[in-house]
Structure 1
Amino acid sequence: MGKIAVVTDSNSGITQEKGKELGVHVIPMPFYIDGELFLEDITLTQEAFYEKLASDCEISTSQPAPGEVMEFWDKLLKEYDEIVHIPMSSGLSSTCETAIMLSKDYDGKVEVVNNQRISVTQKTSVLDAVRLAKAGKSALEIKESLEAEKLEASIYITVDTLKYLKKGGRITPAAATIGTVLNLKPVLQIQGEKLDAFAKVRGWKQAKKTMLDAMEKDLLHRFGGKKMSLLAAYTCSAEEAKSWKEELEDRFPNYTIDMDPLSLSVACHIGPGALAVACAKEVDL
C-alpha cells in the first residue's frame, strides 16, 4: 500500500494547526487587501480579516500561484507515494481547474478531486479522504469515491447586511437599499457549483426558520435514508454562533453538529454576521 498525502486549501476552514492534528496538508489561500498580499491563517487571522472588512478595505480573493502549488506537491512527494488534493469547488474558483491542469505533469501521483464543495462541506470531504487513506485506498480510489458523492451536499446561508452582496455585484444598489429599509434577509444556497438566491424573507428570525425548514426537507426527502453529517458555520460573534448551534440541536436532536467559522473566501462576499447550515453525505468505506 502506498503512502497517501491528503492536501486541501484553507477554504476548507481547516487551520494549519488543525491540519497538523488531522495529518492534512493545508495550502493557504491568498487575499489582496488594499493591494497587499496576505495568506489565510499564516499572515491573516480571522480577527484581522474582519477588522479590515469593517474598515472598508479593498479585499479580493486570489488563487495560490501555480509554482507554489507544485513546490508544495514536490516537497510532499519526497515523503509520500501519492497525493489526493481537495480544493474548493470549480464552480466558485479557478483554483480547482488550475490544480487539475498542473497534476497532469505528475504521472498519476497527484489526483485532484473536483467534487463541488466549499467550507464546511469541503472539510467533510477532507475528513472522508483521511479515513479512506487509512483504510488503504489509493489516491485515485479516494478521488473516485469523493466525486461519486459530489452532489450529496447542501448549504444554506443568511446574511446580516446586504452591503457585501451589493459590493460584489450579486444584488443591485437599489435592491440593497430597499432590502435594508424593509429588513429583508436573503437566504442563499450552495447546491453543487454555484452560490444562488434561495429566498427573501423579513427579519432574522424568519431567515433562520427558512434555513431550518429547507435543511429538514433536504434531510427527509432529498437525502432520506442516507448517512449525513450536519454542519453549521458562521461569520458572526461566538455568542450568536453558540445560539445558532443550540437551535440546530433542538431541531435535529439525532445529529451531532460540527460547527466552524465560514472560510474567508465566502465571508469576503457575504460579510460579517452571517449564519449557515449544511449537510454532506458521509462516504462509505
Structure 2
Amino acid sequence: MTNEKIAVLVDSGTDVPVEITNQEGVYTIPLQIIYKDAVYKDKIDITPEEVYARLSQEIPSTSLPDGGQILAVLDQIKSDGYNKIIAVSISSGLSGTYNILRLLAEDSDLEMFVLDSKNIGIGAGLQAIHAYELIQAKLPFNDIVHKLKREVSKTTLYFNVATLEYLQKGGRIGLVSSIVGTALRLNPTISCNEDGIYYTVAKTRGRKKSLENLLKLLKADIGQHKNYRIAVAHGDALEEGEWVRSLVQETFPEAKEVLFGTISPALVVHTGPGLVGLGVQLFD
C-alpha cells in the first residue's frame, strides 16, 4: 500500500549488525547495564570490552530499556514520517522488553506490531534483519506481520559458554541443567525452547568438540533447505569464533550469507567471556 511507511524498531539485545541499524528507517532502544556507581546504555555508553575488564571487580545487572527513552524513539519515528512499526524484541522468556513494547504499542497512535522473537542475541537479530528486508521489498504491513509470526520457529541459535557462572548469577539459567564435576570438561550447548527459555541441547566433553557439535546441530536444522542465512557470534572468543566461521563457510557454501560479530555488552553480563554461537534462519 502506497500510504504505508514502515519503520523497524529493535532492542539492543538483538545484536543486529551496525550496517543494518545504521540504515534509514531502523531504530534501536538500548537495554540498561547497571553498576553500583552508574547506569549505562547498552552499546552507547559502554562496550563489551569495558564489561569484560570490570567483571573481576563487579558483575553488573541489566534492565529493560528506559520507558522515557522508548517514548522518545517512538516520537522520533513519527516525526520522521513513519506511520507503522515492526518491533522485534529478545525473548519474552528472558526479558520484559517485549511486554513493555507491547503495552506502549497499545497507547501509541502509530500502528505497531511487536514480534516476540523467542530468541536472544543474533537469533533475534536475524528476524529483525528479515523484517527490514521485507519492508525494502515493499510487502504490505499485514503480510510482513503474518510472515514474521510464521517464521519465528525457523530461526534457531545455539551457543556455548566457557562457564555457567554468569547465567546462574544473572538469574538467566532457565532450564539449563547444572553440570557437576568440571573435571569432566562437559561443555553445554544452549538454545532457546519454544517458549524462548534457555535449555541444554547437548553436553560435549571438551571445548573443541563442543564447537564442532554446533555445526552438527546446524546441519540437522538445515537439512535439505537451500535458502538460509547463518550468523556466527562470539564474546571475547575471537580466535575460536573465526575458526567456527571458517568451518561454516566450508560446510555450508550455499548459505545466503554468513554474518559475523560480537555480542552486546548487555549479553556479556549474562554469559561472561568465551561465548561462541551459531544462528540459522531458514526461508521458504
TM-score band, normalised by shorter chain: 0.7 to 0.9
Pairwise CA RMSD of aligned residues?
2.3
Cα contact 1:14–1:26 (8 A) shared by 2 = no
Distance in 2 between residues matched to 1:74 and 1:207, nearest whole Å? 46
One-letter identity of the residue aligned with 1:182: L
Distance 1:277 1:28, change over 3 A: same
One-letter identity of the residue aligned with 1:243: W
Distance in 2 between residues matched to 1:204 and 1:182, nearest whole Å? 11
Distance in 1 between residues matched to 2:59 and 2:143, nearest whole Å? 42
Distance in 2 between residues matched to 1:166 and 1:116, nearest whole Å? 20
Match among 202, 205, 208 for residue 208 of structure 2: 205
One-letter identity of the residue aligned with 1:64: P
Match among 14, 19, 26 for residue 16 of structure 2: 14
Q: Deviations along 1:121-161, whole A, 9 cap, x unmatched?
A: 22222222222222223444322221111111111111122
Distance in 2 between residues matched to 1:183 and 1:56, nearest whole Å? 26
Match of 1:95 in 2: 97
Matches within 5 A, 1:69-148: 69-79=70-80, 80-107=82-109, 109-148=111-150
Secondary structure in 2 matching 1:150 = helix
Distance in 1 between residues matched to 2:168 and 2:27, nearest whole Å? 35
Deviation at 1:41, TM superposition (A): 1.3
TM value normalised by structure 1: 0.87
Match of 1:66 in 2: 67
Match among 163, 166, 173 for residue 165 of structure 2: 163
TM value normalised by structure 2: 0.87
One-letter identity of the residue aligned with 1:185: N
Secondary structure in 2 matching 1:116 = coil
Distance in 2 between residues matched to 1:14 and 1:278, nearest whole Å? 12
Distance in 2 between residues matched to 1:217 and 1:177, nearest whole Å? 28
Structure 2: 5+ residue stretches without partners: none
Match of 2:187 in 1: 185
Deviation at 1:242, TM superposition (A): 1.3
- Farther off after superposition, 207-216 or 94-103: 207-216
Distance in 2 between residues matched to 1:140 and 1:264, nearest whole Å? 34
Deviation at 1:200, TM superposition (A): 1.8
Match of 1:215 in 2: 218
One-letter identity of the residue aligned with 1:105: D
Q: Deviations along 1:69-104, whole A, 9 cap, x unmatched?
A: 122102211221222211112121111011111101
Structure 1: 5+ residue stretches without partners: none
Q: How many residues align?
A: 275
Percentage identity across paired residues of the two chains:
27
Match of 1:240 in 2: 240
Distance in 2 between residues matched to 1:48 and 1:196, nearest whole Å? 28
Secondary structure in 1 matching 2:152 = coil
Distance 1:205 1:238, change over 3 A: closer
